[in-house]
Amino acid sequence: MPDFINAVDPDRLTQFTRRLIQTPSLSREEQAVSRVIQDEMRSLGYDEVYTDELYNVVGVLRGGEPGPRLLFNGHIDHAGVGEMPDAFSGAIIDGAPYGYDGEVIYGRGACDMKGGVAAMVHAGAAARRLGLPQRGEVLVTCVSREEIAQGEGIGHLLKNGVTADFAVSGEATGLKVYLGHRGKFEMRLTTQGRTSHGGYPQGGVNAIFKMNRVLDALQKDYPLPSHPVLGPATVTALDINASPGALSPIVPDRCNLIVDRRFFPEETQEDLLAGFEELLAGIKAQDPEFKASLEPLKWFPAMFTEPTEPVVQAMSRAREAVMGQAGDFGNWYFGVDGTFLNQAGIPCVGFGPGNEFLAHTPRDVVPVDQVITACQVYTALIADLCGPNSEK
């Protein structure tokens, strides 16, 4: 077996991770970090490095023989800093306060996901040291605009013809193999009433009181499915307001509720809307005065890659080769760009350093040893899928 452990240069990888964190890169402000990544890829000996007008970076490693194309994906933007102190220090500090043995790298984007990006970029270099890829091609895609939009950066690459047979998302999984995440559907639910003077409410129909029935039904009567890996679907309310106005004595004739429903790949938008319509019909059956409407607002697709997919199997083997165990499958609580790869027909598996629950928090850190281990596992994956003895 090739020596995946020693193929990785841990000091250089750690320094590169720190440099990424020390380079601020809010969404749409990725130019500087994009340059840092391109320079690193070039000096690590990638066969080709290119960028585009969104500052996406793609590094390519070519094998000498035909074979599969393996795509690594990570995003190079980070969430807003908020109150996080010294957010771009990239300091190496004791991990104990964060629940880790050993040292962690501190800074905005550390776990989401500059640690993962650094590990992917250096896996290319480690693979090269082992004479890989021998067959096919490895693409390391570092994309912009993940945090603010619906996969704008990765969407741009896919639209421009980037494709692959297998994909890996390096978002934080705590070094477990992840299969996907629930989707998110945001919708505006409006109840309609009839205005009257606030001093004579019996002359109107109060849309807020009608919404009260909806809130009740959502908590008591709305059935939610469950998924063996992705867990339970959920529904919650994000915002509520009424009109015409807060400070005038008018019984409101409109009340708006923003609903957040987390769903599974099997569920379509039509299914979800039908479920809500049914709930509203149930209320109407008891209250003929009840009137409500639905308006879809946002849709982020669910992601689920079957455990039988070759890329999932290969990732489990790679994890076992480096860490001794394939481990259990898991899923993210948030959405990742991997969902757009799946939608494009490129089966995507998740594996990355860091704790997903620290993402976007002031406790944003990534353990040094997890970044190094992730890099070793990625290198083992390249050997598995694009190595000499692979029959896939």
* Least Cβ distance, residue 77 to Zn ion (angstroms): 9
* Least Cβ distance, residue 195 to Zn ion (angstroms): 45
* Least Cβ distance, residue 155 to Zn ion (angstroms): 15
SS3 call for 379 = helix
Nearer to Zn ion, 113 or 302 (CB): 113
* Least Cβ distance, residue 300 to Zn ion (angstroms): 13
The answer to whether the beta carbons of residues 51 and 57 sit under 8 Å apart is: yes
Nearer to Zn ion, 139 or 172 (CB): 172
* Least Cβ distance, residue 269 to Zn ion (angstroms): 24
Name the residue whose CB lies closest to Zn ion. 112
Bridge partners (DSSP) listed for residue 262: 184, 234
Spatial distance between the Cα atoms of 12 and 14, rounded to a whole number of angstroms: 5
User: How many other β-carbons are positioned within 10 Å of the β-carbon of residue 37?
Assistant: 28
Residues with Cβ within 8 Å of residue 288, at least 6 apart in sequence: none
Nearer to Zn ion, 113 or 348 (CB): 113
Q: Can you give the binding site for Zn ion, defined by CB under 5 A? A: 112-113, 171
Count Cβ neighbours within 10 Å for each residue of 102-141 and write b for 16 or more, e otherwise.
Answer: ebbbbbbbbbbbbbbbbbbbbbbbbbbbbebbbbbbbbbb
Residues with Cβ within 8 Å of residue 282, at least 6 apart in sequence: 217, 221
Order of all β-strands in the sheet with 365-367: 92-94, 103-106, 365-367
Nearer to Zn ion, 104 or 117 (CB): 117
Nearer to Zn ion, 44 or 154 (CB): 154
* Least Cβ distance, residue 114 to Zn ion (angstroms): 10
Nearer to Zn ion, 46 or 55 (CB): 55
Residues with Cβ within 8 Å of residue 20, at least 6 apart in sequence: 33, 36, 37, 76, 90, 109, 114, 117, 118
Bridge partners (DSSP) listed for residue 64: none
Nearer to Zn ion, 152 or 171 (CB): 171
Angle at 51 between CA 47 and CA 52, to 5 degrees: 150
Tokens coding 283: 């209320």
* Least Cβ distance, residue 138 to Zn ion (angstroms): 21
Residues with Cβ within 8 Å of residue 320, at least 6 apart in sequence: 326
Spatial distance between the Cα atoms of 16 and 129, rounded to a whole number of angstroms: 18
Nearer to Zn ion, 114 or 262 (CB): 114
* Least Cβ distance, residue 113 to Zn ion (angstroms): 5
